[in-house]
Amino acid sequence: TQKLILDVDTGIDDSLALLYLLASPEAEILAITCTAGNVPARQVAINNLAWLELCGAPQIEVALGSEVPVIAPLMTTEETHGDQGIGWATLPAPTRALSERHATQVWIEHVRAHPGEVIGLVTGPLTNLALALRIEPELPRLLQRLVVMGGAFNHEGNTTPTTEWNIAVDPDAAAIVFQAFSGLPAERRPLVCALDLTEQIEMKPEHIRRIAELAGSTPAEVISPDDPEGTRSQASNPVVRHLSDAVRFYMEFHRDQGQGFLAHMHDPFAAALALHPEMAATRAATVDVELSGTLTRGTTVADWRGMWGREHNAAIAWETDPAAFFDHLVERVGSFARA
């Protein structure tokens, strides 16, 4: 199995990434660390505890991380993910408490205990990892690999014209991380899933319908673009019902943005690559983050051609087969929800 630490700002697509990993027998989730992003960190923690209980995995440690970015003021995006970060879903309140350890401690202790065996998967701002690096600068060499959802390279931003949300929330943390992860051999460089590819990962109502069918849920049609805004799923299977209610909100958001009744599955795609990096072809680059631009702070810049004269420090996911990814996701999550 593959040991993983998930650092998240759950989040609708973070939620689906978690369901996918819980559904994947090859994934061993050591802990979930929570960061502020889509919603405040304490709400992120509640969401993770609630999903884990719903999915019968209450033993997984959930630790609170930083409640603010390392320097920047916090911004959250309830309009994208709903007031609680899980769209229209209303999960039962968790009965379990948070870990007593801080997220940075969780990262460092797990990675030290299993040198070379842990993949760190970050699907939120890089705040916790940046802080952990200040305490344990050897993390890049102790991790098996880092997988990050973040950035927009030869692609428009989703937060400002040139920035992607996870980097825009905490650009200083992102810069610390990319600089710290230089000097690694090619196969151990951070695998970066940026908007360039994740905006091609379009979940449609059909995918939720297929998950529902696999889970044996009725009625099969859980999301239809024709239903009025905020229609709640009637599916009897609770995982399908909550998932469907969460994703419906995300699809309504994308529709309101003029992108169609679909939702970009940024974080589930990064989760899939953490387990199966062969699902995407990558491009090597030296990545850094603009910290001082008046219009461009938080922009990720890829030096593809070595113009800076600095070694490559990232493998950027560049090409994939979105249909194959969705077949994989649907099959995993649908069978899991059935069980």
Q: Are strands 118-122 and 145-149 parallel, antiparallel or unpaired?
A: parallel
In the complex, the smallest distance separating the C-beta of residue 302 from ligand BDR, rounded to whole angstroms, is 17
Nearer to ligand BDR, 267 or 288 (CB): 267
7 binds, options Ca ion, ligand BDR, none, Cβ within 5 to 8 A by partner type: none
User: Which residue among 81, 266, 312, 328 is the active-site one?
Assistant: 266
Contact indicator for 323, 228 with CB cutoff of 8 Å: no
165 binds, options Ca ion, ligand BDR, none, Cβ within 5 to 8 A by partner type: ligand BDR
- Would you call 266 a catalytic residue per the annotation? yes
Residue nearest to ligand BDR (CB): 165
In the complex, the smallest distance separating the C-beta of residue 41 from Ca ion, rounded to whole angstroms, is 13
Return residues touching Ca ion (CB under 5 A): 9, 11, 14, 123-124, 267
Q: Environment class of residue 93 by beta-carbon count within 10 Å: exposed (0-12), middle (13-18) or buried (19+)? A: exposed
Contact indicator for 249, 88 with CB cutoff of 8 Å: yes
157 binds, options ligand BDR, Ca ion, none, Cβ within 5 to 8 A by partner type: none
Per 3-state DSSP, what percentage of the chain is helix, strand, and coil (rounded to 5)? 40, 15, 45
Q: How far apart are CA 8 and CA 34, in angstroms?
A: 5
Nearer to ligand BDR, 119 or 214 (CB): 119
Q: What's the sign of the alpha-carbon dihedral 148, 243, 77, 40?
A: negative
Return residues touching ligand BDR (CB under 6 A): 11, 13-14, 38, 80, 123, 149, 158, 164-166, 266-267
Q: Residue 311's closest CA among 283, 288, 286, 282?
A: 286
Task: Tell the residue number behind the tokens 């960061």, with chain if given.
Answer: 35
Nearer to ligand BDR, 14 or 215 (CB): 14
Nearer to Ca ion, 139 or 149 (CB): 149
In the complex, the smallest distance separating the C-beta of residue 123 from Ca ion, rounded to whole angstroms, is 4
In the complex, the smallest distance separating the C-beta of residue 303 from ligand BDR, rounded to whole angstroms, is 22
Torsion angle (degrees, nearest 10) of CA 329, 261, 221, 338: 20
Residues with a known catalytic role: 266
